[in-house]
Amino acid sequence: MKTCLERIPQDVVALCDYERLAPEFLPPDIWAYLAGGAADERGLKVNQEAYRQWSIQPQVLVEMHGASSTLQLRGGQLPHPFFIAPMAAHRLFHAEGELATALGAAAMGAPLVMSCRASTPIEAMPRHLGVPLWFQLYVRKDREFMLGLVRRLEDAGCDGLVVTVDAPVSGIRNREQRAGFRFPEEIEAPHLVGEPAWPVVESVLDPRYLAELPTWEDLIWLKNQTRLPVWLKGVLSVADAQRAVEASFDGLVVSNHGGRTLDVLPAPLKVLPEISREVAGRIPVLVDGGIRRGTDAFIALALGADAVMVGRPMLYALAVAGAVGVAHALRILCHELEVAMLLAGCPTLPSIRGRVRPVMKG
């Protein structure tokens, strides 16, 4: 196993190069946890394949003066539409964990969404770098615990909450099981201290387990406890999107958890157009899962996303080259997106909307 590189090799020019190199830097069980999906990994495959069903519709000789990839989002401005998706325990992949990811993200102006299973306490995260820091959580029935966590996040200067709603139980992760992955004890979870334990049950359909699962009512309660924006992550249906808008949530992430929960969910890109149509600009819509190229982000924006979240590739880059790797991977994505905008004749992110067509079969 190699240790983290100080300099990026010349042949690392695309996110797939980080994916190729990352297994050399990680023990096999941690690699299985990072790269794998649920069961037969159908979700993992369809997420990326969905992007191959679309091509970009260019226009030539467009006036591009003043072109920019700036994102306007809820009154704020970001230099590009890439966010880092919430992912557990970055210390599994690099000794400096979330600190390194945050520095790499900040260098490129990308918001980081910390996972509730982060291995670094939010209080230790740098907050003077001028980029938003969001926090992802799962809602539990225990309101005292939830309130304590929310107040802690507010006090630490967190900019927004992302509630993940698609994982009331962990997916069936055969690749991880075969590799014998377990969270090492030394990788702490400082935001889960005091979290109520899940009941030990034979079946997840045991009433004692089901009684612990959150519902819309719990999410709306949570939303009413804080002034922070609250987004929902893991929405894949028009009905749920409609409900989120009606309940005044602040944004949506269309996601199938990177194919890590239920193996046979639709690719988020497939359902994005209908969800975006339903939401009709009332709240922002992000999408994640399978984004590996700037052109993938272009396609997502063309089909109705306001911005995108990128997951695994950020941790591949973190494992290979720490903060520098994360910044470099984001830079690659931004450059690819900008080149695509120029070649397609789209001077702004909103002008990308609709600029794709289905790939012809045969």
Ligand X SMILES: Cc1cc2nc3c(=O)[nH]c(=O)nc-3n(C[C@H](O)[C@H](O)[C@H](O)COP(=O)(O)O)c2cc1C
The alpha carbons of the chain give a radius of gyration, in whole angstroms, of: 20
136 binds ligand X (CB under 6 A): yes
Q: How many CA atoms lie within 13 A of 283 on its CB side?
A: 21
Task: Report the alpha-carbon distance of residue 151 to residue 136 in Å, rounded.
Answer: 14
- Yes or no: say if 297 and 348 are a contact pair by the CB < 8 Å rule: no
Tell me whether residue 288 is annotated as binding. yes
Q: How far is the CB of 310 from ligand X (least distance, A)?
A: 5
Task: Report the alpha-carbon distance of residue 301 to residue 308 in Å, rounded.
Answer: 8
Tell me which DSSP letter residue 266 carries: P
91 binds ligand X (CB under 6 A): no
The region that residue 349 occupies, defined by phi over 0 for left and psi between -120 and 50 for alpha, beta otherwise, is alpha
Helix ranges restricted to H, the chain: 15-21, 28-35, 42-52, 97-107, 143-155, 174-179, 207-210, 216-223, 238-246, 268-279, 294-302, 312-344
> Closer CB to ligand X, residue 181 or residue 345?
181
Nearest residue to ligand X, scored by beta-carbon proximity: 311
* Sole binder of ligand X in the list 229, 289, 304, 347 (CB under 6 A): 289
Tell me whether residue 55 is annotated as binding. no
47 binds ligand X (CB under 6 A): yes
Q: Which of 80, 90, 257, 328 is catalytic?
A: 257
- DSSP bridge partners of 357: 55
Tell me whether residue 18 is annotated as binding. no
Burial of 351 (0-12, 13-18, 19+ CB in 10 A): middle
* Sole binder of ligand X in the list 98, 288, 296, 306 (CB under 6 A): 288
Tell me whether residue 353 is annotated as binding. no
Per-residue contact flags (x/-) with ligand X for residues 58 to 87, judged by CB under 6 A: ---------------------------xxx
- Footprint (CB under 6 A) of ligand X, residues 25-44: 33-34
> Closer CB to ligand X, residue 90 or residue 345?
90
Q: How far is the CB of 104 from ligand X (least distance, A)?
A: 16
Q: How many CA atoms lie within 13 A of 20 on its CB side?
A: 8
305 binds ligand X (CB under 6 A): no
- Yes or no: say if 175 and 32 are a contact pair by the CB < 8 Å rule: yes
Neighbouring C-beta atoms of residue 282, cutoff 10 Å:
12
- Footprint (CB under 6 A) of ligand X, residues 180-239: 233
Active-site annotation holds for 65: no
Residue count at the site for ligand X (CB under 6 A)? 23
Tell me whether residue 86 is annotated as binding. yes
* Sole binder of ligand X in the list 293, 312, 328, 355 (CB under 6 A): 312
- Footprint (CB under 6 A) of ligand X, residues 250-269: 255, 257-258, 260
Binding residues for glyoxylate: 33, 138, 173, 257, 260
Site residues (vs ligand X, CB under 6 A) = 33-34, 47, 85-88, 115, 117, 136, 164, 233, 255, 257-258, 260, 288-291, 310-312
